[in-house]
Structures are given as C-alpha cells and as structure tokens.
Amino acid sequence: MSDGFLTGTSRLRAVLLVTKHDVGGMVRSNRMMIMGVVITFFILGSCYAVTDARFEGLGGFEADNPITLLFLATAFALWPSTLGVVLFGFDAVSRRRLTGELAIDLTQPMPRTDLSLAHLLAVWLTSLLPTFLSFLGGILIIHYRVGAYPTLSEFVVFFTATALLLWWYTCLQLFASSLARDLGSSVTLGVGTWLVFTTIWLVVSAFVASLAGVDITDIASAEFDTVNEKVDLFSPNGVYQLLLETLLPGDAQPRLADAWIWLAAIAWSVLPMSLFVHRMQRIKP
C-alpha cells in the first residue's frame, strides 16, 4: 500500500465504505426528511390515482394491467424522484469545494476516479432508496386495487429503467456541481437541466418536427410520434419512457427498434459519467 494506491478488492472496499458514509449523511439530512415524504406521497398517490375507476388514462392507454398502470403512474411520480436527485446532488461537489473538504479528500491516497465513483453511488443510492421503496408500496396498492402483480420480467425492466433514469440525472447533476464554483450556480445548472428534460422537451420535439415538415398541431399523429421518439433518445426522460413502453402491449409499443433504445440507455449511462469523472480528474479545489 505504501508504494501506490490501494488495489483490487481494497480499492472497491474503499469506494463502498466512502459511499456508505456519504449515503448515511444524506439519508439523515433535512432534505431527505422533506424529499422522502414528497417522493413517497407522489408515487403512492399516483399509483392510487391511476387505479381509480374514474381515471381515464393518458395518451389513449387502456389501464387494464399492472405494468400499464405503473407506466401511467410514472408520468406523475418521476417528477419528485428526478428533482430529488438534483436536490441531493447539487452541493455534493460544490459545497465540499467551498468549505475546503474537497481539498482534504483530494490529498488522500485514493484515485480521483474512485472518489468520483463514490460520489455518484452515494447520490444515486440516496435518491433510489425512497423511490424504490415507494414503488414497491405502489405495486402493493395496484395489487390491492386490481388484484394482480407485474410479471417478474416486467418488474425487473421497470426497476432497471427507473434506476438508470436516476443514474443519468445523478451523473448530470454531479457534473453540474463540479463545474459550478458556488452553490447558486450549481443548483441553477441542475434545476435548469431538469426543467429542460421534464417540461420543455416537448417544445424541442415540436421544433424538430416542424423543421422536418411534420404537422405539429396533431401530436397524436404517427408522423409526429416517430419524430418525437427519435428526439426522445436525446433526453433521459424520453429514453426512460421508451424503455417502459417496450413493456406495453400492442400499438403502445415504441416505433423505434429496441436496440436503438437500449443503445441510447447505454450512452446516457456512460457519457455523463465519463464527463463527471474527467472533470473530477482536473478539478482544482
């Protein structure tokens, strides 16, 4: 150990221990008290609402099986979860940089790549915890209301897609946090990115569709849907929705080939993470 950095399992153990410390700190923080409650209410409430007999569905989906109901619930439920990532992660790097703690971290004999990974895992797991627990509760509500559970494969794909979405936002937010020199800029970058992907993306899709000569007054048309799906590959929320749509029956399936969707998912998993790790290699405390 004295001649170099830790190696092999010791290195992995160090990453996991630092992650555990950081998760412990964030789980006990005041913002978890608030966001945990908000995420739980949103997800449980959404699952309850979409199983109500008076619910008419979204986008013409027939809400007749558990995975379709979960899919519909995500339209409301993912807002607080992704916002949670932004709020848990906006100061993960920038605050430590401001307070001098980052300088202490960077002088330790731990490779910066490993430190970056520990930061990513900590914010990701912290936001994943209330989201997963709430969706498990949501599945129980759906079972109680419609008498069925999703299949195991649906369950795995749903939770994998949700975990990936939170991972993408984690990478983006930590990259923003490492770029910003103050907390205000960090939260502005994070919330700005979140707003673009959650609320403004339809405008981007419509703009691209109009450039392609598609009638944007009819967003239910097949032509608009095709363009929209392609544009969605460049948005984490879009890729997430496309991944979930692969579980849906019949004509609710995406028009794009599954390979493109999974390729986009891989790209979103790797590229923002690489940006963040690269940034951390060069960050000056």
Partner 1 sequence: MYGKVIKCGTVAGYGANMLRLSNVTYRHRDATPTFTNPFLQRIGPGIKGISIQLAPKKILGLVGPNGTGKTTLLKVMAGLLPPEDGHLVIDGARVVDSISTARLRHAVSFMPEQVGWPGPGTPRRVMSRLCAMRGEDNTNGMQMLDLVGLTQRVDDDLSTLSQGMRQRLSLATALLGSPEVLLLDEPLNGLDPVAQAAFRGLLRQLASNGASIVVSSHNLNELARFVDEVCILHMGRIVSIGTITEVERELGIAARLEVSGLGNNPSSAISAAINDVTISELSTKEGEDWRLEISLHDAEWDSANKAEIASAISDSAAKISHLAIVTSDLEHILEAATGLSVEEAGFAILSSGEAEK
Binding site residues, partner 1, CB under 8 A: 1-6, 10, 13-14, 17-18, 21-22, 24-25, 28-29, 95, 98-101, 103-111, 115, 284-285
Helices (H), the chain: 8-27, 30-50, 66-89, 94-99, 101-106, 112-146, 152-179, 183-195, 201-211, 222-232, 236-245, 258-282
What whole-number distance in Å separates Cα of residue 123 and Cα of residue 143?
Answer: 31
Q: Is the dihedral of CA 254, 259, 263, 266 positive or negative?
A: positive
What whole-number distance in Å separates Cα of residue 201 and Cα of residue 228?
Answer: 10
Instruction: Yes or no: say if 116 and 276 are a contact pair by the CB < 8 Å rule.
Output: yes
- Measured CA to CA in angstroms, residue 184 lies from 106, 120, 179 at distances of 23, 20, 12
What whole-number distance in Å separates Cα of residue 271 and Cα of residue 256?
Answer: 22
Rounded least distance, CB 197 to partner 1, Å: 23
Query: 99 or 160, CB closer to partner 1?
Result: 99
Rounded least distance, CB 187 to partner 1, Å: 16
Rounded least distance, CB 8 to partner 1, Å: 11
Query: 115 or 273, CB closer to partner 1?
Result: 115
Rounded least distance, CB 22 to partner 1, Å: 8
Torsion of CA 62, 64, 69, 72, to 10 degrees: 0
Query: 45 or 111, CB closer to partner 1?
Result: 111
Query: 15 or 44, CB closer to partner 1?
Result: 15
Query: 1 or 220, CB closer to partner 1?
Result: 1
- Measured CA to CA in angstroms, residue 5 lies from 21, 108, 118 at distances of 20, 10, 16
What whole-number distance in Å separates Cα of residue 161 and Cα of residue 277?
Answer: 23
Rounded least distance, CB 285 to partner 1, Å: 6
Query: 98 or 191, CB closer to partner 1?
Result: 98
Rounded least distance, CB 145 to partner 1, Å: 39
